[in-house]
Structure 1
Amino acid sequence: MTETAPRPRSPRMARDARRAQVLTVALDLFAREGFHHVSMDDIAERAQVSKPVLYRHFPSKLDLYLAVVDHRGEALVAAVGAALAAADPDDPQGGRAVVRGIVRAYVEFVEDAGDSFSLLFESDVTHDNDVRLRVDQASAEAARAICGGLRELAGLPPEHAELLSTALVGMARVAATSRYRSRRVAVDETVELVTQLAWRGVAGLVRDRPEPGDDAPEQCSGT
């Protein structure tokens, strides 16, 4: 009788390091094969950990999936925030800089994330309320950050900024994913093309920025 070789184990790690390793493995598997085609056995084998160790970190496959979605969502929101922070409020073309920064954030996020971008934009588990909420949360937080940027740099009233921020998220996301799949247009060229398209619309609604000392602008309520 042939004995089954024991599953190899990875070296011992600190708890946080092990959790990060499992998240990386799960992100890759979920992105390439989808939630329904990946089992906890698959993840344990790839991460070279026992199932009891895996379940100590994540009680279920859904908990692990949600953690991966949160991880990707945080990266997206950070990318949008960094792009907005880099825009110069004293630049007379500040509004265009905001739009360009938003578009670049999405295009580069998808490029850097590879197939894992699908966990945020094309999840195969979005019928589950918890997953839908997590997926929507990342886009909503990005839209709120964009709304604030449009309010500050382009001087738009809040209701216009909220509507445009949602539209910009959709446009940037679709353009980024389409470019990633086709590979027919370079990253920089994509950013400029989509910026030109989006800015032509935004510029028609931009009003003069408030002078110092004017009443404080209303805040975006969120989307």
Structure 2
Amino acid sequence: MTTSEGRRRPVNARRAELLDRLRDLFLAEGFAHFTLDDLAGRLRCSKSTLYTLAGSKEQLAVRVVAHYFKGATRLVEQRVAASDDVRDEVRLYLEAAAEALRPASREFIDDMAANIATRATYEANAHAAADRIRGFIREGVRQGVFREVHAGFVGEMVGRTIVGIQRGEIGERTGLSDAAAFAALSQFLLGGLTAGPEV
């Protein structure tokens, strides 16, 4: 290992730790109301340290939101990889999505939706989830596990429902928690898709 590599690794580790701490803070309290001075004070670091992550508060918010979704996607895919049954994959995918979303406060969701830059990341994640569900449905239809349906339509419906859950709209209208809404979506989806008489 060269000396420069030896120095780079601890720096990268410190940045990763800082991103994790920012993610946890944003998830708990949102981010729109924070200034860089506020964040430096809460994390007990200098503003120059924050500038090693991003050049402005908005860029920092985008980076932290992207970091959150990257970790959430990794968690979800790890859960799905544990199964080779497409019905179970759908259930595990939605359960893991609910678990990944559980720490996100309403302030975080609202701030993310209100900011054009972070909303783009947020919507890209919802579209990716819809694409993943479409893939499960196509595979289930191919295997004869799911009845013949329009995978694109079902994926779009699921994607919009996921966005509604993430934005808090489903909870406001139904009284369900986000986790309960994902469980209900899974039950509804598998019940409607299953080719045989049992889910």
TM-score by length of structure 1 reads 0.63
- One-letter code of the match for 1:165? G
Q: For residues 81 and 32 of structure 1, do their structure 2 counterparts lie closer, same or farther at Cα, with a shift above 3 Å needed?
A: closer
Shift of 1:166: 3.0
SS at match of 2:104: helix
1:150 aligns with 2:137: yes
1:137 alignment counterpart: 124
1:162 alignment counterpart: 152
Mapped to 1, the partners of 2:113 and 2:183 lie a distance apart of: 32
1:106 alignment counterpart: 97
CA contact (8 A) 1:98 1:150 kept: no
Mapped to 1, the partners of 2:149 and 2:55 lie a distance apart of: 42
Q: Within 5 A, what are the aligned runs for 1:1-223? A: 14-89=10-85, 94=86, 96-111=87-102, 114-115=103-104, 119=108, 122-155=109-142, 160-171=150-161, 174=165, 178=171, 193-203=184-194
Query: Any gaps of 5 or more consecutive residues in structure 2?
Result: 1-8
Shift of 1:33: 2.9
Q: Which range moves more in the overlay, 161-170 or 53-62? A: 161-170
Deviations 1:62-89 (A, max 9, x none): 1111111111111232233334433324
CA contact (8 A) 1:104 1:191 kept: yes
CA contact (8 A) 1:99 1:195 kept: yes
Mapped to 2, the partners of 1:172 and 1:87 lie a distance apart of: 22
CA contact (8 A) 1:23 1:64 kept: no
Mapped to 2, the partners of 1:58 and 1:83 lie a distance apart of: 31
Q: For residues 129 and 183 of structure 1, do their structure 2 counterparts lie closer, same or farther at Cα, with a shift above 3 Å needed?
A: closer
Deviations 1:189-216 (A, max 9, x none): 8776543222222237x9xxxxxxxxxx
Give the CA RMSD over aligned residues. Answer: 3.6
Aligned pairs, how many? 179
CA contact (8 A) 2:80 2:89 kept: yes
Larger radius of gyration: 1
Mapped to 2, the partners of 1:145 and 1:202 lie a distance apart of: 16
- One-letter code of the match for 1:167? M
Q: For residues 116 and 59 of structure 1, do their structure 2 counterparts lie closer, same or farther at Cα, with a shift above 3 Å needed?
A: farther
Mapped to 2, the partners of 1:141 and 1:158 lie a distance apart of: 22
Mapped to 1, the partners of 2:148 and 2:79 lie a distance apart of: 20
- One-letter code of the match for 1:124? D
TM-score by length of structure 2 reads 0.70
Query: Any gaps of 5 or more consecutive residues in structure 1?
Result: 1-12, 207-223
CA contact (8 A) 2:36 2:57 kept: yes
